[in-house]
A and B are shown apart, each in its own frame.
Chain A
């Protein structure tokens, strides 16, 4: 090192320093090239998603609209077995008068109604009569609705007046509070999401497996054919890949429905009778078939690119060393394709668990996936907190798989078409 230290550049700075500076400068220059895109997707993509995910635990609504009540409730001991005292009711009467004036009382009712049925009418009714409330307020409120006499409502009220809530995550995992306020699994007839997550994972796995089974022989064939033939056949793979998702889904509707092409064909061939037409759509079968078809190219392409690199001499060597074709294939060829299978599987799996459009159109009720429920909570039930919680869990799953993909395949090795 001593000789290196002695070296200086023309302007007298030590070479080491100068080199380090140059490296740093070129690092920064390289980074600067990435910055515009990074800022762009930060604003148009990451911030929006993060902003939405915050909704899964943010819970400022109750405290914002009924600040005095929330403050007064802090002193109430929910395990005492008694109703809150008059100070809470007085605070509530004041809050309700303001909130009824601002027409915000219904919002709180709807928010709390997610936790327990009845809050909506309780708040609406009480809000409507808030202006005429006279002390003593406790009696006045109890007169409006006897639900104010129910400790469970008060416990939920107090619990959900905190700034942050875990109730959305609990609900997303089919867990809720029992009547005593303890965390417990929901009764079976109300469990939805765990089953749905499970179904989403199961169907995605099944679809991935089907893709492997279908992609393997085709990729093998493509990789062994001479370039001019394989390029021609590759078009048969790339055409579906390039064709609109909706077009492919539409054509599966045309093929699979009861009066559709396949059923007509089966009836004509005498495989099924005219009244015994198969139900292949609006159920899981529809989702599986259509999604396998749509995702198959994502399996074939990586598998094919890996198989292309395996020298045919491996197999020939195994054969000449006395292996049967099957042994040679299983022991020599297949291990070499594991990387391709891994790359394709993770890609297909990641895409499958987030699918929305195809299951919505061909899945019926048993073929819908978790994304469909998220969409339902976003646009129909309006329980955005729950939608965000479900979305966060799904996103977590996907990111985990994405990291695995990075570990196994390396993001930079991702290729298209």
Chain B
């Protein structure tokens, strides 16, 4: 954004100062994420840039923390658990969340805002409270320290995201399309799969991605409801940060950043596709 040509010198100075300030804020946002990438190639087990690293001496760099990650069975177990738990939690929350969102976006829906408020509350309740409650209750019903328990807990935490994204997709949804389909002789099932699903699919997938990342990222509930057998990547990182700080955590962090970049681009692509399909222009 350039300063307008009619701007006074003072305004121009202010304009560039503004751009510098914005640059600094963007730097603040992104620097902590970028900085761990080189640190994860550190040759010594500390979280600092060594003089060798700063002088770009190859001896200062090493991939041993990545090797440690890929050979350490504790981490591998954590990766496996993370994917299993996140996968099933995502399926549950996406299915239930999408169906609920379809109901919520119907014009006839009574008490809409109240129901919405209730369905979204798992996102709002402080995690420590959710975790503690689930921990006591799941112990009672034999779900604590089981994969199923953690999956159900994560599914509950993930549903608000699905509800929000799918209802947002349906906001621009033209209901006359359904009537048109019915008019043209399509059965309700056929209408659902041929008309509704393609239209809400981007919202569903991006909601699913949110649910996935919620589970994949969640640590408080796993710490309480889960046990060593259910350890996930964040569980392992959390105990690692407290127990023994090793750059392996940074290596894992770097890999997670790469995953988030991938997810970010998929969400962005889906959003665009969704808007294009519904004919909403930016």
Contacts and interface: CB of A to CB of B under 8 A. Distances in A.
**Per the CB under 8 Å rule, do A and B touch in the complex?**
yes
Interface of A: 23, 26-27, 29-34, 36-38, 40-41, 44-45, 47-53, 55, 214, 217-218, 221, 224-225, 227, 229, 231, 233, 235-240, 242-255, 257, 259-261, 264, 293, 296-297, 325, 350, 353-357, 361, 371, 374-375, 378, 384, 387-388, 391, 394-395, 398-399, 402, 406, 410-412, 414-417
B184 interface: no
B47 A32 contact: no
A236 B26 contact: yes
B264 A248 contact: no
A48 B103 contact: no
B164 A415 contact: yes
Contacts, number: 278
Contacts of B29: 236-237, 239-240, 293, 296-297
Contacts of A27: 108-110
B130 to A, nearest CB: 6
Interface string B14-53: 1000110110011011111101100100000011110000
A139 to B, nearest CB: 43
Interface string B230-274: 000010011001100100011001001100110110011001000
Contacts of B21: 217
B253 A250 contact: yes
Contacts of A399: 124
B129 A354 contact: yes
Given A218-B22, A240-B33, 4 more contacts: A30-B103, A34-B99, A47-B137, A412-B113
B59 to A, nearest CB: 19
B232 to A, nearest CB: 11
Nearest to A44: B156
Interface string B153-171: 1011001010111011000
Given A254-B39, A293-B32, A412 B220 contact: no
A414 B101 CA distance: 14
19 contacts: A26-B106, A30-B106, A45-B133, A49-B130, A51-B137, A52-B137, A221-B19, A245-B234, A246-B217, A250-B250, A255-B31, A255-B35, A296-B28, A297-B29, A391-B129, A406-B117, A414-B120, A417-B206, A417-B210
Contacts of B228: none
A250 B100 contact: no
Contact of A251 (B35, B155, B282): B35
B104 interface: yes
A354 B238 contact: no
A243 B256 contact: yes
Contacts of B121: 402
A12 to B, nearest CB: 25
Given A354-B128, A357-B219, A253 B241 contact: yes
A3 B278 CA distance: 41
A227 B32 contact: no
Contacts of B263: 242
B116 interface: yes
A243 B118 contact: no
Given A224-B1, A244-B234, A254-B47, A394 B253 contact: no
B175 interface: no
B127 interface: yes
A394 B128 CA distance: 10
A412 B167 CA distance: 8
A40 B96 contact: yes
Given A214-B25, A354-B126, A406-B113, A37 B100 contact: yes
B152 interface: yes
A264 B125 CA distance: 39
A245 B130 CA distance: 18
B253 A356 contact: no
Contacts of B164: 414-416
Contacts of A353: 126
A239 B261 CA distance: 7
Nearest to A233: B26
Given A48-B138, A255-B32, A354 B116 contact: no
A214 B250 contact: no
B277 interface: no
B48 A259 contact: yes
Contact of B33 (A44, A247, A411): A247
Given A38-B119, A244-B253, A239 B32 contact: no
B196 interface: no
B238 to A, nearest CB: 6
Nearest to A214: B25
A295 to B, nearest CB: 11
Contact of A239 (B100, B112, B129, B260): B260
A181 to B, nearest CB: 31
A356 B120 CA distance: 20
Given A34-B103, A254-B250, A255-B35, A264 B210 contact: no
Given A221-B1, A244-B260, A296-B29, A49 B18 contact: no
A160 B110 CA distance: 46
B182 interface: no
B195 interface: no
Contacts of B124: 350, 398-399, 402
Contacts of A218: 22, 25-26
B48 to A, nearest CB: 5
Given A264-B48, A361-B241, A387-B132, A37 B26 contact: no
